[in-house]
Amino acid sequence: MKTIIKALVFDAYGTLFDPLSVASLCDELYPGHGSALSQLWRSRQLEYTWLRSLMGRYEDFWKVTEAALVFASRTLGLPCESPARERLMQAYLSLKPFPEVPDALRALRGYPLCILSNGTREMLRVVVKNSGLEDVFWQVISVEEARIYKPSPRAYELAARKMGAEPGAIGFVSSNFWDAAGAKAFGFFTCWVNRTNAQSEELGFVPDATGRSLTELAQMLTRA
Amino acid sequence: MKTIIKALVFDAYGTLFDPLSVASLCDELYPGHGSALSQLWRSRQLEYTWLRSLMGRYEDFWKVTEAALVFASRTLGLPCESPARERLMQAYLSLKPFPEVPDALRALRGYPLCILSNGTREMLRVVVKNSGLEDVFWQVISVEEARIYKPSPRAYELAARKMGAEPGAIGFVSSNFWDAAGAKAFGFFTCWVNRTNAQSEELGFVPDATGRSLTELAQMLTRA
């Protein structure tokens, strides 16, 4: 693989940073409901990005994330006005990286490393800073500039353009199968990080490589 | 309302026909798993329409429905080769209308009535025929012609064009909140049939009218 891939681009939420790491704060605010709230919040956050993109009604990821929180908390009957809402939104800026991420990224430093994320520039700047990974990335690319979310080809095209590379020379890494499928449809070399032993989605496109962790993928990608 | 609305267009799956009415066959084939299978099947079916549309990789609704069934059954560990798969797919052609649908549609016969659905022309022809509602509709419109799924404005635009009416003169009826939101964003007068006392989704667009059943909406729409 090393010979064809010139640079690596990572999805952020779900791949490098764990969106469900807000569950502990959710549970502190709503004892016994942390897991349900964080999961419904995350699933609606994704759905809203797809639906708004398809409707041609882009709103930035901060607003979409807050809208999903409002829906999820109301559906579960959990009051979520400030300061609780404010605290939960701020928690999104200090999501924890998955445990193996810092070491795996260090192992991959032979490649130029980028992020391509649905997050706003500001959300990404802060979450990367808070995780101590600032110096690791060559570019942190937000779909904000394309005003459409992944898996639109326009989102992946933005990254290819900013990186100045042919799609086939870019290795794209995501834990979200639908994101890996979208990247593959666009033309990236795609790697799926399947930490949860999930089933492949039936979207007509399959990743080029699959690993159970970023460490496992890093081993594949650094092999001579 | 009667004065501004010249024609009514209904979503099919979830609004007129109950996609979860396949649960009994699912349960016959996989005792104890009918509800889980029918729900996961339906949720992936919707997700795949959104994702494929956003990827610019349209596949027709029959193929998407089968792909979602393959994913759902594999995820739940239920073997789903033919003849089981074939039987479940065929069941999609005889989904039951919600109980109040035939009478409510009859009450609305003062309007030209249409369907705008993600389903293929053939799926719609058969499900409408099997439910005995053939004579009710002026037009049955499939997004197949636009090669993109709702809530893309191109899907709603297809209906407006075929009906030869201004969007604001078309009353659009859906039980799927995201579909009502997409139709509202496009410019239809939108009615949400909320049979399950669901929460509104936070998509930036809200329906013009909401009823707990099609009967309740029919009463609003036929009021002088």
- Residue whose structure tokens are 């394309």: A146
A137 and A219 assigned to the same domain: yes
Indicate whether B89 belongs to any domain.
yes
Contact A182 B51 (CB under 8 A): yes
Provide, rounded to the nearest whole percent, the portion of chain A with pLDDT above 70: 98
- What domain range includes position A103? 7-17+96-223
> Average pLDDT, stretch B93-113?
95
Amino acid at B56: G
Look at residues A94, A118, A135 and tell me which one is the last residue of a structural domain. Answer: A94
Look at residues B94, B115, B134 and tell me which one is the last residue of a structural domain. Answer: B94
Closest CA in chain A for residue B49: A203
**Is a pLDDT exceeding 80 seen at residue B11?**
yes
Indicate whether A152 belongs to any domain.
yes
Q: How far is B223 from chain A (nearest CA, A)?
A: 32
B102 and B34 assigned to the same domain: no
Q: How far is B71 from chain A (nearest CA, A)?
A: 6
Contact B67 A178 (CB under 8 A): no
Closest CA in chain A for residue B77: A199
For residue B3, what pLDDT is reported?
61
Indicate whether B150 belongs to any domain.
yes
**Is a pLDDT exceeding 70 seen at residue A222?**
yes
B13 and B47 assigned to the same domain: no
pLDDT tens-digit series, residues B133-188 = 999 999 999 999 999 999 999 999 999 999 999 999 999 999 999 999 999 999 99
- According to DSSP, the residues that pair with A172 across neighbouring strands are A9, A190
Indicate whether B2 belongs to any domain.
no
| A contacts of B178 (beta carbons < 8 Å) | 47, 51
| A contacts of B202 (beta carbons < 8 Å) | 44, 48, 67-68, 70-71
| Alpha carbon distance B10, A186 (integer Å) | 34
- According to DSSP, the residues that pair with A173 across neighbouring strands are A10, A191
CATH number at residue A208: 3.40.50.1000
pLDDT tens-digit series, residues A34-87 = 999 999 999 999 999 999 999 999 999 999 999 999 999 999 999 998 899 999
A109 and A142 assigned to the same domain: yes
**Is a pLDDT exceeding 90 seen at residue B206?**
yes
Q: How far is A77 from chain B (nearest CA, A)?
A: 10
| B contacts of A53 (beta carbons < 8 Å) | 54
Indicate whether B178 belongs to any domain.
yes
A45 and A80 assigned to the same domain: yes
Look at residues A94, A113, A128 and tell me which one is the last residue of a structural domain. Answer: A94
pLDDT tens-digit series, residues A159-178 = 999 999 999 999 999 999 99
Indicate whether A2 belongs to any domain.
no
- Rounded-to-10 torsion of CA B193, B198, B201, B205: 30
| Alpha carbon distance A120, A132 (integer Å) | 18
| A contacts of B51 (beta carbons < 8 Å) | 50, 151, 178, 181-182, 203
What is the phi-psi region of residue B164: left when phi exceeds 0, alpha when psi lies from -120 to 50, beta otherwise? left
Closest CA in chain A for residue B53: A54
Cβ-contact B74, B8 below 8 angstroms: no
| Alpha carbon distance A178, A183 (integer Å) | 9
Q: Is A135 a catalytic residue?
A: no
CATH number at residue B46: 1.10.150.240
Closest CA in chain B for residue A52: B203
Q: How far is A62 from chain B (nearest CA, A)?
A: 13
B37 and B85 assigned to the same domain: yes
A89 and A114 assigned to the same domain: no
| A contacts of B74 (beta carbons < 8 Å) | 199
Q: How far is B203 from chain A (nearest CA, A)?
A: 7
User: Which residue in A45, A47, A55 has the most chain B C-beta atoms within 10 A of its own C-beta, making it the best mutation to test that interface?
Assistant: A55
Provide, rounded to the nearest whole percent, the portion of chain B with pLDDT above 90: 94
Indicate whether B1 belongs to any domain.
no
B208 DSSP 8-state letter = S
> Which of B48, B152, B202 has its CB closest to that of A68?
B202
For residue A3, what pLDDT is reported?
61
Closest CA in chain B for residue A55: B152
The single residue of B11, B60, B135, B208 carrying the catalytic annotation is B11
| Alpha carbon distance A118, A101 (integer Å) | 19
| B contacts of A55 (beta carbons < 8 Å) | 151-153, 181-182, 185, 203
Contact A52 B203 (CB under 8 A): yes
- Rounded-to-10 torsion of CA A190, A195, A201, A207: 20
User: Which residue in A203, A205, A206 has the most chain B C-beta atoms within 10 A of its own C-beta, making it the best mutation to test that interface?
Assistant: A203
A28 and A117 assigned to the same domain: no
| Alpha carbon distance A169, A157 (integer Å) | 13
Provide, rounded to the nearest whole percent, the portion of chain B with pLDDT above 70: 98
Q: How far is B151 from chain A (nearest CA, A)?
A: 6
B208 and B109 assigned to the same domain: yes
Contact A153 B56 (CB under 8 A): yes
B26 and B126 assigned to the same domain: no
A125 and A211 assigned to the same domain: yes
| Alpha carbon distance B23, B9 (integer Å) | 27
Nearest alpha-carbon partner for B115 in B189, B11, B221: B11
Cβ-contact A140, A34 below 8 angstroms: no
Indicate whether A170 belongs to any domain.
yes
How does residue A4 score in pLDDT terms, banded at 50, 70 and 90?
confident
A65 and A157 assigned to the same domain: no
What is the total count of domains within chain B? 2
| Alpha carbon distance A93, A113 (integer Å) | 21
ipTM over 0.90: yes
| Alpha carbon distance B115, A76 (integer Å) | 33
| Alpha carbon distance A143, B176 (integer Å) | 28
Contacts of A64 (CB under 8 A, 6+ apart): A45, A48, A49, A52
Contact B149 A54 (CB under 8 A): yes
| B contacts of A51 (beta carbons < 8 Å) | 50, 151, 178, 181-182, 203
pLDDT tens-digit series, residues B46-76 = 999 999 999 999 999 999 999 999 999 999 9
| A contacts of B204 (beta carbons < 8 Å) | 52, 57, 59, 67
